[in-house]
Amino acid sequence: MKPETENNTKKSEEDSGILIADIERAAYQRDYDTVFHLLFRIFDKSERKSGGILLDKDTDLDDDDYFLRGYTRLASALSSMFAHPEFQMLTPGFMQLNVYKKQLAGIFELSGFRGTDHLLGLIGEKASEQDAKTEFALKNEQQLLKFLTFYSLQSEPDVDFGAFLKSVPHLALSSYINLVSTPVVLTKRASARREKLLELGPLLEDIALNEDLISRLSALWMLCSYAEGKNKHDIKKHLNVVLQRWLVKKGIKVPALPDKRDLKERPILLIASEHFTAGHAMFRCYAPVIKQLRDKFQMVLISAPKNMDDISKNLFDQVIEVNLEEGQIKKEVVGKMIKLKPDIIFYPSLGMAQWTLFVANLRLAPIQLMSMGHPGTSNSPFIDYAIMPESAYSKERDCFSEKLLLTKDNTFQFVAPLQSFRIKPRLRLKPSPVKLAVTSKFYKLSASFMATCQRISEKSQRPVEFHFFPNDAGMVYQQVRHQIHQWVPDAIVHKMGDYNLYIHYLNQCDIHLSTFPFGGSNSNVDSMRQGIPIVTLAGDQPHSRTDLWFFALSQSLPKWLIAQNEEEYVDIAIRLIENDDERVKISQDLLQENFDKVFLDAGYEHHKEQEKEFVNFMWWLYEHHDEIQKDGKKAWFLSEIEALNA
C-alpha cells in the first residue's frame, strides 16, 4: 500500500476515507440510502490500511482510543437506525448486508458496546413475564430480518437456529453461513455455539440455494476445520450433497467412465490446484513431489490465472486456465476437464477455492485423490484417496472417508521461502521475560488454546511475554487483538508485515507454542531455523498432527515436547520456561541441524532414496487402483508396499 504523500492527496471516492459524522448525520436524519451507500464503502475496504472510517482530519488520540471512539459513534448511529420501527428492511437489502456480516459485526465488537446484544433487545419486543427464558420476542418479519442480521456467536441469548432453518430457510441460511464462518472465534461461548450450529448440517440439504448462497458455501466448507468438535467435518457430507444438486440444476452432466481402465504407457495426471504461485505455501510444500510425477506421467495443471506463475507452470507439460466468475462454476471448465480425459486427478488441497469444491463432487477421472494442503477429509464420495506422510495419520480414530496412502515422512520436502534473507538466530541464555511465540494465522487460534495460554501465564514462576503473529490487518487484526487481550492482557499482537520483518520479531522469542486443534507447518520451519523449540499437542485429525512431521524428521526436537492433553501442554511449556539449560540445549541442537538437508531439500540432493519415491507410489496406485478399491484395507503404507515389491 502506497503511503500518503502530498502528491497523493487527490483520491477518488472509492479511495477516500469516510467521516463518521457523515454517517451519523444521515442515520439520525433517517437518510437511510446514504447510510447504506457509505456503509458499503467502508465494508469494501475495511481491511485496507488507507480509507475506512475517520473521526476527523486531525486527531491526537492514540490508536486504541481512536478506534474505540470511532466504532462506538458508528455503532450508536447504526443502532438508532436499525432499532427505529420506521426503518424497514427489504429482503435484497438483508441479503446484501449479510455478505458483509463480518465487517458489520466487527464495528459493534470493537465499539464500547462490545457486541450487538443491546440492539437485539431494541429490535424485538419486550417479552412477557411468563416467558422468562428470553428478554425479547420476535413478532414480525421485520424484527426477524434485523435479528438475523445482528445475531452473532458472541450473543448472550441462545436460540434454536434449526427452527429458523426450517421455518424461514432462505433468510436463516444466509445468517447461518455467516455465523459458522465467523473468522475470529476465541471465546468459550462462541466456540460452543459454532459446534452446535455445525450439527445442523442435515437441514441444509433441504434448502434450495440461489447464486449468492451457493457461492458462500466454500467458506463454510473450509472454516469448519478450525472448530474444536470431533465431528466438525460431518457438515461437509451435507454441503457436498448441496453442491451435487446444484450441478444437476445447472445442467452439468458428466459422461460415465468405462467400466474397465486401459493402462497407458504415460497416463495423464491432472493437478487441480487452488494456489500454486512460487511464493505460496502450497508451492513450498508440494512442488518437490509434483516435480517427481513428470517422470512417468503427462502432467497438466488446471488453476485460475492469478494462482499460478511462470515458475509453477514450468513443472507441467500443459496448463489449463480456470476463468470463473466469483461463486460460479462454468460448464466449459468441466468440459475442458472431460475433454482432457485425465487418468488421475490430484487435488493438493481442497477448501481454499470455490471451483475445486464443485469439480471434486464429480467423477471426472477413474482415480481422484487429494493431499493435505488443507488438512481434513473431503467427505466426498468422488475422492478415492487422501495421500499424506505417516506422521499425519492416527491409528486411534478414523477421520477420513477416503482410503489413505501414507508416504514416509521424508518423502515430502519443502522449498525454502522466496525473497528472504537469513537473519542470524538470537539465542537468549537467561531471558526475562521469556518470550513465547504463537505464529499461526488467526483462524487457527481457538478458545481452548487461548485458555491454555492463560494458564501458562498464571502458572509460570518467571515473567513471560506472549507474541502473537495472526498475519492480518485492519478490522480483523483489531478484533483478533481485542479477543486475545481478553485472555492474555499484556500479549503483543504483531501487525501483518513482510516475511523478513516477521522473522526479525520471531527471532527475539524463546519458545514456539503451536496452536491446537489446528497445528502449524511452514511456521514451524521458521522457528526451527531460528533455534526456537516447539511445544505441540497431538490429536487424531491430520491438522492436529502437522507438527509431528517435523518431530519425525528433526533430530533436535525431543518427543517430550509433544503433549497428549492440555494439562501436559501447560506442564511442558512451564518446564521450558523455568529451565534455561534444557531450553538452551534444544535451541543449540536445532541450530546445529542442517535443515536444508532435513526437510528443505527440494532437489532431493540429500535424499536420493526419496527422489523417485512419490512418483513410484503414484504409479503403484495407478496400476493397482482396482484391487485397492475392492480391498477392505483402509490405510496403505509406502514402506509396506516397498517391502512387498522387494
pTM of the model: 0.91
- The reply to whether 636 falls in a domain is no
Same domain, 245 and 354: no
Neighbour count for residue 160 (Cβ, 10 Å): 10
Q: Are strands 136-137 and 125-126 parallel, antiparallel or unpaired?
A: antiparallel
- The reply to whether 174 falls in a domain is yes
User: Cα(629)–Cα(34) distance, rounded to whole angstroms?
Assistant: 60
- The reply to whether 254 falls in a domain is no
User: Cα(443)–Cα(194) distance, rounded to whole angstroms?
Assistant: 14
Residue of 366, 349, 304 whose CA lies nearest to 330: 304
Same domain, 301 and 441: no
Burial 624-636 (b: 16+ CB within 10 A, else e): ebeebeeeeeeeb
Q: Are strands 534-537 and 53-54 parallel, antiparallel or unpaired?
A: unpaired
Q: Alpha-carbon dihedral of residues 515, 520, 525, 531, nearest 10 degrees?
A: 10
Helix intervals (H) in 294-346: 310-313, 331-340
Domain that includes residue 319, residue range: 268-407
pLDDT tens-place string over residues 492-539:
999 998 889 999 999 999 999 999 999 998 899 999 999 999 999 999
The H or E element spanning position 230 is none
- For residue 115, list its beta bridge partners: none
214, 249, 284 — which closes off a domain? Answer: 249
First to last CA, the chain: 57
Give the pLDDT score at 2. 38
Same domain, 104 and 187: yes
- The helix/strand count (H/E) of the chain reads as 28, 18
Please report, as a single letter, which amino acid is at residue 117. D
C-alpha cell at 64: 486504541
Same domain, 188 and 233: yes
Same domain, 272 and 399: yes
The H or E element spanning position 203 is helix 201-204
Give the pLDDT score at 445. 97
**Count of alpha carbons within 13 angstroms of residue 309, beta-carbon side:** 9
Give the pLDDT score at 333. 87
* Residue appearing with cell numbers 459422461: 255
pLDDT tens-place string over residues 70-88:
899 999 999 999 999 889 9
pLDDT tens-place string over residues 183-214:
899 999 999 999 999 999 999 998 988 877 88
- The reply to whether 125 falls in a domain is yes
Same domain, 504 and 385: no
pLDDT tens-place string over residues 414-431:
888 765 678 999 999 999
Give the pLDDT score at 409. 93
**Count of alpha carbons within 13 angstroms of residue 551, beta-carbon side:** 22
**Total domains, the chain:** 3
Same domain, 203 and 99: yes
* Alpha carbon separation from 489 to 65, 465, 482, 492, 506 (Å, rounded): 16, 10, 9, 9, 20
3-state SS assignment for residue 116:
coil
The percent of residues in the chain predicted with pLDDT above 70, rounded, is 91
C-alpha cell at 468: 502473537
- The reply to whether 72 falls in a domain is yes
CATH number at residue 464: 3.40.50.2000
Same domain, 228 and 345: no
Same domain, 450 and 387: no
CATH number at residue 371: 3.40.50.11380
Helix intervals (H) in 151-200: 161-167, 169-180, 188-198
Same domain, 178 and 325: no
The H or E element spanning position 82 is helix 63-83
- DSSP string covering 457-504: HHH-SS-EEEEE-----HHHHHHHHHHHHHH-TT-EEPPP--HHHHHH
Give the pLDDT score at 328. 55
- The reply to whether 485 falls in a domain is yes
Same domain, 277 and 331: yes
- The reply to whether 639 falls in a domain is no
- Residues 394, 377 contacting (CB under 8 angstroms): no
Same domain, 36 and 91: yes
- The reply to whether 141 falls in a domain is yes
